[in-house]
A and B are shown apart, each in its own frame.
Chain A
């Protein structure tokens, strides 16, 4: 057999790790061509019926592969609709009347869709099932790939234009080996999803959708390279060595440090005690988001409730640092009991610590509960406020926390004004924690949810790194810790830059810890400083990434 031609594509690696397998594409809904005259009605009817049958077969196969009984029943019901005798009958009637197979399916599904909508209530919700069935049957008739997540029946590499949250609700990380998208950026949904699931991903990779269905491909989510047209044996080798990498990362334990022993605390971002995995890889908690206690509530949680929730987390790490962030809410993250009025521009409105201008009692109650949890558990949590802008705000927050016996008080740096005055903030508090996601949003005047501006929100932006450098320098001068707790901390290569800038701790999701630990262990502090110098001097994020990657590989 001839060797298949190898095609090397390059994109942005945004979730590290390697994987290899056959590549399948996420297809959009098929477009109906202009109606075609039908010469052989019998053959056209058979074609239309085969289209419905393949939609039903595909849904049945999918149902069999689903473990959750509720999800399986939904898919089985959809398969029954695709195989419905009435639907088949109306398709046959339309072909007999001269319609081509694709248009007959389209029209028959539209007719039954109307009937379901007319039934109202939750019967009407099934109308979307018919859209899905129509798209599948029409795609089969036209010889186009099945729309939606492919299900080849074995693990595969998923290629797509870009992925929206709705496309990925059913994405099974046990089956999808890696993600490759033509569009997207480091903060796109694909990137966040891939990192959360711990699967390798490459975004902004032109040509990904030109790879033929089922082509054996390998993906490197670190370098951003995609090799299409490898042979099966090479794929197996990549998978084997990727598994060995993962095993090696998973078994490495101990505190974070550079190759020459410079310590860097690796901490966890958590929302509740449930986010702390058994045998936790971190050295403590760098960001305990306390919002979950307050979500969906008409009234504030009681003192006992709050105390109990904080105590559970503090007891999980009796010897380690636990940084509790006070309530981070605003009209963009609304909490009903706060009764905040609507704002024209919530990101620039009353949010984070600013809420305590209106409702100081909420913050005081939270600090009371945390102080009691500390007493009961015999621990010394650190506490910090979100969205602090001025040294005056930092001083006020510190006063209130210390009055309750909370000794280690810090603030988050998310606003450029705070980064510019990092040294003055450190006159008032004991530590800083940089939230890179919001700091990017405010420094680059780009909404975090705005897909078109993703490049501006790239954590490798040299101007962002310069603000981080300024905070780290202020920390060094004051002899106080400065950590990073945004997406940036979870990027193994960027982690070396942050350490080189002088950051003393990195906080991330538990899944990200092993790769970051490994990356730091392979570079000395001097190398990290060189990475920092290169990244700061680069013209743009791509230049920064390339320069640091080349230095790291040298």
Chain B
């Protein structure tokens, strides 16, 4: 199964805004994506609760996996998202 390992770049980690932006992006893809920390149990990445419960702070390495058609592109775009500091980006419409 295709995987991407990426370091969480957002200052607040996968929490608050970054977690929200990430989970919303996963939900928009429509592909089942899982996320884990290290060798931990993979959890569904479209669940805010599951993502928050990873406790992935700034600088934590997380691994994404997905299966099926378009999985590679989906993982690339999500990995790119996690490698940016989402706390620093403008609130849309604000």
**Which residues of A pack against B, CB within 8 Å?**
69, 73-74, 76-77, 80-81, 84-87, 112, 115-116, 118-123, 126
Closest to B24 in A: A80
Q: Which of B53-61, B63-71, B73-81 lines the interface with chain A?
A: B53-61
* Contacting residues, chain A, for B4 (C-beta < 8 A): none
Shortest CB distance B51–A (Å): 10
Cα–Cα, bound, A87→B17 (Å):
20
Contact assessment for B44 and A123 in the assembled complex, using a CB-CB cutoff below 8 Å: no
A73 to B47, CA, bound (A): 17
- In the bound complex, CA of A437 to CA of B15 (Å): 44
The 8 Å CB contact of A116, one of B23, B49, B94, is B49
Min CB distance, A84 to chain B, in Å? 5
Chain B residues proximal to chain A, CB less than 8 Å: 12, 15-17, 19-20, 23-24, 43-44, 46-50, 52-55, 57, 91, 94
Residue of B nearest to A120 (CB): B55
B94-A115 in contact (CB<8A): no
With A77-B48, A85-B47 known as contacts, the answer to whether A116 contacts B17 (CB < 8 A) is: no
Q: Are B52 and A123 in contact (CB under 8 A)?
A: yes
**Nearest CB of chain B from residue A549's CB, rounded to whole Å:** 49
Give 3 closest A-B pairs by Cβ, nearest first. A119-B55, A115-B53, A86-B47
A-B contact pairs, 8 of them (CB 8 A): A74-B16, A76-B20, A77-B48, A80-B23, A85-B47, A86-B44, A87-B49, A122-B15
Question: Complex: how many Å from CA A120 to CA B56?
Answer: 10
Number of A-B residue pairs at CB separation under 8 A: 58
Partner of B20, one of A77, A112, A118: A77
List, in ascending order, chain B residues with CB within 8 A of A87's CB.
47, 49
Q: Are A85 and B52 in contact (CB under 8 A)?
A: no
A116 in contact with B44 (CB, 8 Å): no
* Cβ contacts under 8 Å, A123 to chain B: 15, 52-53, 55
Q: What is the bound-complex CA distance between A116 and B47, given in angstroms?
A: 13
Q: Which of B23, B49, B54 has the most CB of A within 10 A?
A: B49
How far does the Cβ of A72 sit from chain B's closest Cβ, in whole Å? 9
Task: Give Cα A408–Cα B57 distance, bound, in whole angstroms.
Answer: 59
CB <8 Å contact, B91 and A69: yes
Give CA–CA (A80, B49) in the complex, Å. Answer: 9
Q: Which of B12, B17, B24, B48 contacts A84 (CB 8 A)?
A: B48
Determine if A81 and B49 form an interchain contact, defined as CB atoms under 8 angstroms apart: yes
B16 touches A116 (CB 8 A): no
- A120 → chain B closest CB, angstroms: 6
Residues from chain B with Cβ under 8 Å of A69 in the complex = 91, 94
- Report the minimum CB–CB distance from A29 to chain B (whole Å): 20
Task: Contact check, A84 vs B15: say whether CB atoms are below 8 A apart.
Answer: no
| B14 (CB) vs chain A CBs: closest residue | A123
Give, as a whole number of angstroms, the nearest-CB distance from B48 to chain A.
5
Most central of B48, B50, B54 by chain A CB within 10 Å: B48
Residues of B within 8 A of A84 (CB): 47-50
Most-contacted residue by chain B among A86, A112, A123 (CB, 10 A): A123
**Residue of B with least CB distance to A126:** B52
Name the residue on A nearest B53 (C-beta): A115
Which chain A positions have C-beta within 8 A of B12? Answer: 122
Q: Closest approach, in angstroms, between the C-beta of A352 and any C-beta of chain B?
A: 43
Q: How many angstroms from the CA of A85 to the CA of B48 in the assembled complex?
A: 9
Residues in A neighbouring B44, C-beta threshold 8 A = 85-86
- Of the candidates B43, B47, B52, B53, the one having the most CB atoms from chain A within 10 angstroms of its own CB is B52
The answer to whether A73 and B55 have CB atoms under 8 Å apart is no
Bound Cα distance A115, B55 (Å): 10
Report the minimal beta-carbon distance from A380 to chain B, rounded to whole angstroms: 48
> Given A119-B54, A121-B57, A123-B53, does the pair A85, B17 have CB atoms closer than 8 Å?
no
